[in-house]
Structure 1
Amino acid sequence: MEKLLQWSIKAQEEGMAAPPPDPKQLAILFGAPDELAEMAVELHTASSTQNEHITLDQRIEQLESFHDHVENIDNANNIGSMWPVLIKLIDDPEPEISGLALSSIGAAVQNNRKSQLDLCNQEGAVAKIISKCESKSVIEKKQALFALSSALSHCPEVYDQFTAVKGWEVLSNLLNTDVMKGTNSALRTRVLSVFNSLGMLIEDRSDVAIELKKFKPDFEKILKTEEDGSTDGEKIITVLSCLQTAKPIKLLEE
Structure 2
Amino acid sequence: MMTTRNLPPSTSKRIKMVSLVIVILILPIGVADRAQETSALTVTQNDGMDEDVQVDDDLDPEDLEVFQPTNQWQSLKPGQAVPAGSHVRLNLQTGEREAKLPDSIKETTGLNRNKVTAKDSHSFSAQELKEALKKLKEEAISSADEEAQAAVRSQYRPLEELKKDLEDLSAMMETDFQVMTRLVQQFNNSQASLEEKVTALLDLEYLVHQVDNAQDLISLGGLQLIINTLNSSEPILQEHAAFVLGSAVSSNPRVQVEAMEGGALQKLLLLLGTDQPLPVKKKALFALASLLRHFPFAQQHFLKLGGLQVLTALFRSRGSESLRVRVVTLLYDMIIEKELISQSGLDAVPDASHEERLRQYSQVALLPLLSEQGWCNLVPELLASPEHDMREKALRSILVIMTPCRDFYRQDSGLASFLTSIQEQYTALAESEREHGEDDGYFGELLALVESVLGKLR
TM-score (norm 2): 0.42
The counterpart of 1:222, out of the listed 363, 374, 382, is 382
Tell me, in whole angstroms, the C-alpha distance in 1 between the residues paired with 2:338 and 2:376. Answer: 15
* 2:230 partner SS: helix
**1:219 to 1:182, Cα distance in 2 relative to 1, 3 A:** same
RMSD over aligned Cα atoms: 2.7
Q: Is the 8 A contact 1:202 1:242 kept in 2?
A: no
Task: Give the structure 1 partner of residue 264 of structure 2.
Answer: 125
AA paired with 1:182?
Answer: G
> 2:177 aligned with 1:36, yes or no?
yes
Q: Deviations over 1:92-150 (max 9, x none)?
A: 2211111111011111222333322222222x220001111134222211111111111
Work out whether 1:75 is the aligned partner of 2:235. Answer: no
| Aligned equivalents of 1:183, 1:127: Cα separation in 2 | 21
Residue in 2 that maps onto 1:158: 298
Find the structure with the greater CA-based Rg. 2
Task: State the Cα distance separating 1:41 from its structure 2 match.
Answer: 2.4
More strand by share: 2
Q: Residues 104 and 196 from structure 1, CA distance in 2 versus in 1: closer, same or farther, beyond 3 angstroms? A: farther
- 1:228 deviation in Å? 6.2
Contact 2:332 2:397 in 1 (8 A): yes
Matching residue's letter, 2:287: A
> Which has the larger share of helix?
1
Match of 2:203 in 1: 65
What amino acid does structure 2 have at the position aligned with 1:220? P
| Deviation sequence 1:39-60 (CA, Å, 0-9, x none) | 1321232233x31xx2111111
C-alpha displacement of 1:63:
0.8
Q: CA deviation at 1:183?
A: 5.9
Tell whether 2:188 aligns with 1:47. Answer: yes
- The count of corresponding residues between Structure 1 and Structure 2 is 209
Contact 1:153 1:200 survives alignment (8 Å): no
Question: Where do 5+ consecutive residues of structure 1 fail to align?
Answer: 1-27
- Quote the residue 1:106 is aligned against: 246
Measure the CA separation in 1 of the matches of 2:256 and 2:394.
Answer: 24
Name the counterpart of 1:188.
Answer: 324
Residue type matched to 1:211 in 2?
L
Q: TM-score, normalised by structure 1?
A: 0.72
C-alpha distance in 2, partners of 1:193/1:115? Answer: 23
| Percent of aligned pairs sharing the same letter | 23
Gapped runs of 5+ residues in structure 2? 1-170, 340-360, 409-458
How far apart are the structure 2 equivalents of 1:47 and 1:91?
Answer: 15
Please state whether the residue corresponding to 2:388 is helix, strand or coil.
Answer: coil
DSSP-derived class of the 2:401 partner: helix
Partners of 1:183 and 1:117 in 2: how far apart? 30
Give the equivalent residue in structure 2 for 1:24: none
Residue 201 (structure 1) shift? 4.0
Q: Does 1:209 align with 2:367?
A: yes
Give me the whole-angstrom Cα distance separating, in 2, the residues matched to 1:184 and 1:228. Answer: 13
**C-alpha distance in structure 1 between counterparts of 2:236 and 2:177, whole Å:** 23
Instruction: Identify which of structures 1 and 2 has the higher relative contact order when contacts are C-alpha pairs closer than 8 Å and 6+ apart.
Output: 1
Q: CA separation of 1:237/1:114 partners in 2, compared to 1, >3 Å: closer, same or farther?
A: farther
Aligned equivalents of 2:393 and 2:251: distance in 1?
17
Query: 1:207 Cα deviation (Å)?
Result: 1.1
CA distance in 2, matches of 1:234, 1:212: 19
